[in-house]
Amino acid sequence: MVKQPKAPRTLTHDQVWTALDRLAERAGLSASGLAKQSGLDPTTFNKSKRVTPDGRERWPSTESISKALAATAGSIDSFVQLIGDGEGTVQTVPLLGMAQAGAAEPALNHDPVSQAVAFSPVIHIAAKGST
């Protein structure tokens, strides 16, 4: 018997709105405050507007999400991490070569942060329970 590949999980209404709520929280804002800071109507992200009176789910537009990310200096990658179901997050860690790791004298302006950022490639580590 041949195993069929798992179907990709679909993006849900709750996941998108949860990510927007988390984005607002990280910026120290309410949903309304995030909308205002994004140049949108203050009620755009309100919980009362997420479902229509007849029970139909209302999704935020990609333009609204883009404006919210711009207003909070977020990226689409960070937004996707906020969608997560709590099973873990992905953290980026710089990968240093042996020459850079063992160098007696820092090569980039004596600034370890610049050094870590300047070296590529990076590896991604999934950390269970990290935020």
CB atoms within 10 A of CB 71: 20
Residue 45 has pLDDT above 60, yes or no: yes
Contact 90, 122 (CB under 8 A): no
**Which H/E stretch holds residue 37?**
helix 31-37
What is the phi/psi pair of residue 89, to 5°? -125, 165
Task: Note the pLDDT tens digit of each residue in 68-88.
Answer: 999 999 999 999 999 876 444
Segment 51-63 shows an average pLDDT of 95
pLDDT bracket for residue 65 (50, 70, 90): very high
**Which ranges constitute the DSSP H helices of 49-123?**
62-71, 76-83, 98-102, 112-118
Task: Note the pLDDT tens digit of each residue in 81-128.
Answer: 998 764 444 455 566 665 655 655 554 455 554 444 444 444 444 444
Segment 26-55 shows an average pLDDT of 96
Beta strands 89-94; 122-127: pairing state: antiparallel
Q: What is residue 104's predicted lDDT score, i.e. its pLDDT?
A: 52
Q: What is residue 64's predicted lDDT score, i.e. its pLDDT?
A: 97
Q: What is residue 120's predicted lDDT score, i.e. its pLDDT?
A: 42
pTM for this prediction: 0.60
Tokens of 78: 């960070």
So where are the chain's domains? 12-85, 86-131
- Could you please state the CATH topology (level 3) that the domain comprising 12-85 is classified under: 434 Repressor (Amino-terminal Domain) (1.10.260)
* Percentage of the chain exceeding pLDDT 70: 58
Handedness of CA 105, 124, 24, 71 (dihedral sign): positive
